[in-house]
Amino acid sequence: MIVTLIVACEIGFWVLLAAGLALRYVARMPRTSVGVLLCEPLLEVVLFVVTAMDLKNGAEPDWKHGLAAVYIGFSVGLGHSTVTWVDARVAHRFAGGPPPVKPPRYGAARAAHEWRTAARWILACAVALALLQGAVWYVGADGNIGSLRMWQQKMLFVIGLNLVIALSYTLFPKKAPALDR
């Protein structure tokens, strides 16, 4: 049931995003569009409540409960930037908006971009870690928390990976090609 709800939340995210953008750019109803887009966090609240109820009703914690926590964390950390990214492209393609800003390709500007990206991923992982730890405490030491700990290890790996990537752009910045004269 949890996996089905996660899939439903993901589908709901994209449906609400499409509806919100259609209201904004096709129906020219920007306030209604914002209202629809603000409903997206409700999906994660529902997922959180159902997952907590499942554990409270005696379900053995497994990978599905961990996946729910990771999904919620990633929605918190990456949801806004995803909406912004899609909005810029829809505005450009269908509403005559300016072309989306491309990330810098070279030097310190690219390193700063990578650190901002890493910060979003680290926030996503930190929220997931906190939810997973809350589930561990909720289940207690007597329960089988191995799958929750496995997800925590994966989140720490993702944090480390993002730090390595951002650090590599800082220590080894890509240089702009030299202009031949």
Q: pLDDT tens across 37-63, in order?
A: 999 999 999 999 999 999 989 888 999
pLDDT score of 181 more than 70: no
pLDDT of 141: 76
pLDDT score of 142 more than 90: no
Pairwise CA distance, residues 163 & 122, whole Å: 9
For the chain, the structural domain boundaries read 2-171
SS3 64: helix
Cβ atoms within 10 Å, residue 107? 13
Judge contact between 50 and 132, C-beta under 8 A. Answer: no
Closest CA to 56 of 163, 139, 147: 139
Burial class (CB in 10 A: 0-12, 13-18, 19+), 164: exposed
Judge contact between 128 and 155, C-beta under 8 A. Answer: yes
Closest CA to 104 of 175, 180, 163, 158: 175
Cβ atoms within 10 Å, residue 20? 25
Pairwise CA distance, residues 103 & 70, whole Å: 27
Q: Give how far the C-alpha of residue 12 lies from the chain's centroid of Cα atoms, to the nearest Å.
A: 15
Q: pLDDT tens across 85-141, in order?
A: 999 999 999 999 999 999 999 999 999 999 999 999 999 999 999 999 999 999 887
DSSP string over 7-61: HHHHHHHHHHHHHHHHHHHTS--HHHHHHHHTTHHHHHHHHHHHHHHHHHTTPPP
Cβ atoms within 10 Å, residue 115? 17
Indicate the pLDDT class of residue 179, thresholds 50, 70 and 90. confident
pLDDT of 144: 86
